[in-house]
Amino acid sequence: MRISLLDYALPGLPEATGPRDSARPSIVLVGLPGAGKSALGRRISTLLGLPFRDADTEIENAAGMPITEIFARYGEPHFRDGERRVISRLLAGPPLVLATGGGAFADAATRAAIRASGAISIWLKCPLSVLIRRVAGREHRPMFLNADPADVLNRLMTARHPLYAEADITLSCNDESLEATTRRLDQALKEYRAPQRVPVGLGDRAYEVLVGQGLLKHAGGLLAPVLPAKRVAIISDANVAPLHLPALRAGLQEAGFAIAAELTVPPGEASKDFARLHGLLDDLLSAGVDRQTSVIALGGGVVGDLAGFAAAIAMRGLPFVQIPTSLLAQVDSSVGGKTGVNLKAGKNLAGAFHQPRIVLADTDTLGSLPPRELRAGYAEVAKHGLLQGEFWQWCEANGSAVVAGNASALVTAVVESCKLKAAVVAADEREESAEGGRALLNLGHTFGHALEAEARFDGTLLHGEAVAVGLGLAASLSARLGHCSQEWPSRVISHLTACGLPARITDLPRRFTVEALLGRMAKDKKNRDGKMRFVLLRAPGDCFTSADVPAEAVEKLLRDEGAA
């Protein structure tokens, strides 16, 4: 009868069933032989007041034989299976510091188990010269038997470093004292902030929105678990690429990704047309993409819409990743799978639903936004506040901090907006609900899209600015139709104005005619049976769609608000 490591894996420890119910996570140290996982693990465990365990020692004690003998008798696949079970059971217990064998984190199932446990994984990254000195005398280990340690370590670095890059923290190690490295590790743990994860529940197409700081430099490790292959094509724009593409490229390459193409388009809404789309498709195919090549959108809403549409139709569908770098894209357009281009008749009238595999919202990228762009993105945050209710109160109290670039306020704005949008998208992905549903996310957009289209997408009116004016108009229309008190249009307009946004047609730098705006609204995607549909509100948290809006009421509102 063949022995299984499962049979002797640490009796008395709980079975692994998922993340532990503990506010304090375990610490898992990973890295090549000689990285110092055990020595550093003992030091940091004492400092943190946590027990220390060495996975290899636990396996040997439980099996009653050295690892070399386990390998010799049963082979590596059998050992890795048992190793994963031992690690999972250890992490299912109370918090601890765990040093793993060099090959543990190189196993996909073990990496997944560590992630699922909620532990913080730390890669101790050492240069070859340090490792060679430290492994002297370890010739009994299976990998070093009858082999040159330098050759073995070189080979392991090539194979395992891209996998270790999936760890939560990378700590570069050198010849400094163990005490110094322990202090740096302690500081890294104090500074570490795991990204907040917002699930978008779409069955077998479900994905997560990750929100946090410093995600670009760790992009490869975050993307690897959810993509079919480590091969990507990046689409950005000429403004964003110089700012953020180097960090993304380095983050991908650290995890062993091949970049098939880096493509850029001119910034601005004018790039969302069929000519630009055609060029991108030609460039992607010329770069040799296949159906396992993922398209990454690095930029704002324009890049996300355009790259997403290209991914949706290239080779009948390529995996897609959103890495939004504008506030507007992080809180709205990157979530939900809407992609498309503009037509002469209006905005986003040609496109497809194509959900991303993951969204990385690195709030550090918002620091590079011009103030006007940041303010424009806040309009979508305010919209989500009006839709959600309680979040509107937060907006009124913290909107000024968001547009001022406060890091904490920005993270909250993005997370709460994504939570709302994820819930709506999960319930009505393709906007097919007879009433309400995903259409509610268009609050302010019937007016806003008409203003944008009439401005010819020439940059004089940003999407968020048009939405802000649209929110003011939607609130005013709701009050005129008797659905809400006059308090609400006043509060909405006052808040948007206080945040530096236009909230009325007269706030805009150009003039509009009633006839032109009504003509644009008549072609809105939300219309049904030839009737315009509006999203109206009774109060924050109580919004609804309606086609029962007299055209004369809309016309009078537009005239009263400044349209000619």
Which of the residues are catalytic? 316, 338, 380, 421, 431, 438, 442, 445, 449, 463
- Locate 213 and state its tokens: 């700081």
Residue in 544, 526, 473 with CA at minimum distance from that of residue 348: 526
Q: In the structure encoding, which two tokens stand for residue 529, read together?
A: 């049976």
Q: How far apart are CA 536 and CA 386, in angstroms?
A: 10
| Spatial CB neighbours of 505, under 8 Å, sequence gap ≥ 6 | 451, 469, 473, 512, 558, 561, 562, 563
CA–CA gap between residue 499 and residue 390 (Å, rounded): 19
Distances (CA, A) of 9 to 6, 29, 104, 387: 5, 20, 16, 52
Tokens 């006052």 sit on residue: 494
Residues in the chain, how many? 564
Nearest in space to 165 (alpha carbons), one of 228, 101, 231, 254: 254
> How far apart (Å, rounded) are the C-alpha atoms in residues 422 and 429?
9
The conformational region for residue 457 under phi > 0 = left, psi -120 to 50 = alpha, else beta, is left
Helices (H), 481-541: 487-498, 514-521
Tokens matching residue 442: 């268009």
Are the CB atoms for 273 and 344 separated by under 8 Å? no
For residue 563, what are its two tokens?
Answer: 């349209």
Beta strand pairing status for 231-237 and 320-324? Answer: unpaired
Distance CA 506, CA 469 (A): 9
Residue 542's CB: how many other CB atoms inside 10 A? 13
